[in-house]
Structure 1
């Protein structure tokens, strides 16, 4: 049996009462039985609560979390036609650990489903030498798609997009992990 790769699921919102919890909980349930990935969570609220009154170092925490991951799924809302500041803070806290790793997106929001936020994030991750996937999950008017327990009313409408995204994320994760092992990315232009 092949060793599992690590997939980091990143919460894109730190707002109180965030809908990100509903969307990410659904995603984690869908991915929890994976034979390919073990999941790790990167949540700005989890970091803030873990450090308490102590001055925790976001950079050290993210260095470890991002460094251990082979692939990422960013769950992002769209706030005012962009992605949240808390997500930008997480991303910008480290640089090299993002290199040569794939990033997929699950976005949600109003009528656009968060696609403007994703388009902006593609530019950011390009600067970090990450590979972003074209295929993702877009949840337009997301609050109308989930019941009070956090279950999708029509899961089949979203699962096809999720399965395609995961197939492609798996391919990129395997390919880039193998490439990083053969030649560390930081040695290419050294």
Structure 2
């Protein structure tokens, strides 16, 4: 693959993830407007938006699943690395491969189940909005379809030696323990 096609591909991928973030921001803004507007209408005008609760719940589910795609791609998901830190680089690679294989399996199961639920509920309409309930379950389908290539790419990078030993333990600097300064350690902390 040439450098120009790799660069074009990475630009397309970056645009895809940027568009997901924009959609998440729009979903969050719509949720705020629906919920806040409904609260104001209920307490001030003694009325409300009938579909506000249902639609805001659906928007929240979609926002969470889209955020999970971005989090997976940026390796921002939660993890406990106490055990992995103690392992050798080979042990860390084995844990990395095992965890990604398990996530891949879970994503495949989620995709399959979401597909079945989407198809099963496509003709069912939601009580307040009248929208297809299949749209609700499609959020899991979108996550599964997007997460599988991310996990496969991570495994490919591991097996081709493109993952550094630092990448095998994903921890941000804010999570690391800050060593005590000499004045604090010696009890010379003056207040």
TM-score, length basis structure 1: 0.27
* Larger CA Rg, structure 1 vs 2: 2
More helix by share: 2
| Richer in strand (by share) | 1
TM-score by length of 2: 0.27
